[in-house]
């Protein structure tokens, strides 16, 4: 596998802000909630609106997503705001439905990246399409498994690729929800300097108070973008309530973050 400048060209071609900011709720809950968040994010640093429709949860009993009925809500948000839309896919069926609804960016979640058959199934159904696909790191700190997922997508002729660093599970107590283990991301950058790399401080920290600090660390390490969970009433969110920020908090964060110029 040879990751080339061509594999990051999609980012330049879209002429989005730098860093790339992907924001929106952990989960799509209702059409009203989607439209409210998206409208608040219009005309901000945010270029891509995210919302999970299918939510693989570690344990059963939690909210597992509204499913395909949420896809038209995302399309409506896109039409109203001009933001690109992104959602998580975990099966071939999810991919087919997302493609039917013009989802611009698909991401593969941490619980899916650990399963080579699942990643392969997604790669096969996307074979030679020009979709943008972002691959989250697996839950466990295994760089090979993460790169293996990338190879499956690359070998299927998917050219518009990116990786999302969302931290790694640990049994030990930590101030993070998922330890960042920055060295893994740095090793990935060194191995593939032309690969788009995005940080997800929401899932790393699990706490809204720490998101700014981790975002700054990622920008200092030259990450290309940030994915930040955003909700109008975070404490009432149906999933990941503690880590979501309001659109206003998000906007303030980008006033305070120090962004390196790309030429630095």
Residues 100-159 that bind ligand PEP (CB under 6 A): 109-111, 136
CB of 137 closer than 8 Å to CB of 152: no
CB of 105 closer than 8 Å to CB of 132: yes
The item of ligand PEP, Mn ion, none sharing an interface with residue 136, based on CB under 5 to 8 Å by kind, is ligand PEP
The interface mask with Mn ion, positions 210-249, x = CB under 5 A, is ------------------------------x---------
- Residue 138 DSSP symbol: P
The item of Mn ion, ligand PEP, none sharing an interface with residue 8, based on CB under 5 to 8 Å by kind, is none
Give Cα separations from 161 to 135, 240, 259 (angstroms). Answer: 8, 26, 23
* Separation CA 25–CA 205 (nearest Å): 16
* Least distance between Mn ion and beta carbon 250 (Å): 15
Angle at 29 between CA 39 and CA 47, to 5 degrees: 35
Examine residue 52 and tell whether it contacts ligand PEP (CB under 6 A).
yes
The item of ligand PEP, Mn ion, none sharing an interface with residue 234, based on CB under 5 to 8 Å by kind, is none
Whose structure tokens read 């392969």? 120
Residue 158 is encoded by which pair of tokens? 């998917």
Q: Which residue in 22, 23, 26, 188 binds Mn ion (CB under 5 A)?
A: 26
* Separation CA 195–CA 220 (nearest Å): 17
The item of Mn ion, ligand PEP, none sharing an interface with residue 159, based on CB under 5 to 8 Å by kind, is none
The item of ligand PEP, Mn ion, none sharing an interface with residue 109, based on CB under 5 to 8 Å by kind, is ligand PEP
Residue whose beta carbon is closest to ligand PEP: 109
- The distance in angstroms from the start CA to the end CA of the chain is 28
* Least distance between ligand PEP and beta carbon 113 (Å): 8
Q: What is the largest CA-CA distance in the chain?
A: 48
Where does this chain bind Mn ion (CB under 5 A)? 26, 240
Where does this chain bind ligand PEP (CB under 6 A)? 26, 52, 109-111, 136, 166, 203
């Amino acid at each position: 596998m040879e990751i080339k400048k061509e594999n990051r060209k999609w980012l330049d071609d879209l002429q989005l802000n730098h860093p790339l900011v992907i924001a929106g709720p952990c989960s799509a809950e209702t059409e009203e909630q989607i439209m409210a968040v998206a409208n608040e994010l219009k005309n901000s640093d945010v270029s891509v609106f995210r919302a999970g429709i299918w939510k693989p949860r570690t344990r059963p009993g939690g909210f597992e997503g509204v499913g395909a009925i949420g896809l038209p809500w995302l399309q409506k948000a896109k039409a109203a705001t001009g933001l690109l839309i992104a959602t998580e896919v975990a099966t071939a069926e999810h991919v087919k439905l997302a493609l039917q609804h013009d989802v611009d960016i698909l991401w593969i979640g941490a619980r899916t990246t650990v399963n080579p058959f699942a990643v392969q199934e997604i790669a096969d159904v996307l074979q030679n399409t020009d979709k943008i696909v972002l691959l989250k790191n697996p839950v466990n700190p295994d760089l090979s498994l993460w790169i293996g997922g990338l190879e499956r997508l690359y070998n299927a002729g998917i050219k518009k690729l990116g990786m999302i660093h969302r931290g790694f599970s640990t049994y030990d107590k930590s101030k993070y929800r998922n330890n960042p283990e920055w060295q893994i991301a740095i090793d990935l950058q060194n191995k593939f300097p032309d690969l788009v790399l995005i940080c997800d401080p929401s899932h790393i920290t699990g706490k809204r108070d720490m998101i700014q600090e981790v975002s700054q660390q990622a920008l200092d390490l030259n990450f290309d973008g940030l994915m930040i969970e955003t909700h109008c009433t975070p404490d009432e969110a149906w999933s990941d309530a503690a880590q979501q920020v309001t659109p206003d908090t998000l906007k303030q964060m980008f006033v305070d973050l120090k962004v390196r110029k790309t030429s630095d």
